[in-house]
Amino acid sequence: MTGAVRRGRGQHHGDLRNALERAALDLVGERGPQGFTLAEASRRAGVSVAAPYKHFADRDALLAALARRGYDEQHERFERAMGADHDPVEQLAAFAAAYVQFASDERALFEITFSAGLRKDRYADLAQAGDRVLQLLRGPAEQLRADPDAALDLVQAVGAVAHGFAAFLSEGVFGDPVQALELTKRRARDAARKLVRA
């Protein structure tokens, strides 16, 4: 009986990769991206400490997989938000609001994506996922700025504004993050409009 329990917990997890990713997300939510070990993620997932090495070389590889998931989720959300309007100004404003919403809904993924200190030159798929988000945003920016460098500057400026609002919201600068969410999204949208039109 004891052996059966141990085997079920440790060696034959049916969906090991996803279990480890879920455990890591929980730990990041509690302690931040640098606040746990791969062994702790293993224990949280109910598997042996050797099990993760079937999928991840180390903790950074696990975080990189989650960061990629974060970029993929952002791309999907931003594309959906921006697709509601054909005006490039409104598309970038919608991106800013969607960015704040993502940071609120997926705080652990948000922290991993921007605070884990991952080197994209080590993880080609992570760099590609980030580039997909950038290319999505360059579309409307290039309609507003003919010069490619100016379009990139605009994307980065709007992204910085959105990131600032998202960070302030999560840190409680605007009050209770849940109650302040909709107002913060409107403020991020308005700030993006002003920046684009400046």
In tens, the pLDDT along 49-71 reads 888 788 888 889 999 999 999 99
Cα separation of 144 and 123, whole Å? 32
Say if residue 3's pLDDT is above 90.
no
Q: Is 85 found in the same domain as 141?
A: yes
* Residue 6 pLDDT grade (very low, low, confident, very high; cuts 50, 70, 90): very low
- In angstroms, rounded to a whole number, what is the distance separating the alpha carbons of residues 117 and 32? 12
Give the C-alpha distances (Å, rounded to integers) separating 173 from 145, 176, 180, 181, 192: 33, 8, 10, 12, 19
pTM: predicted TM-score of the whole model, two decimal places: 0.85
Same domain, 50 and 89: no
CATH number of residue 80's parent domain: 1.10.357.10
Q: How confident is the model at residue 117 (pLDDT cuts 50, 70, 90)?
A: confident
The residue-averaged pLDDT of 110-116 equals: 87
What CATH number did the domain enclosing 32 receive?
A: 1.10.10
Is 106 in the same domain as 131?
Answer: yes
Domain containing residue 22: 1-56
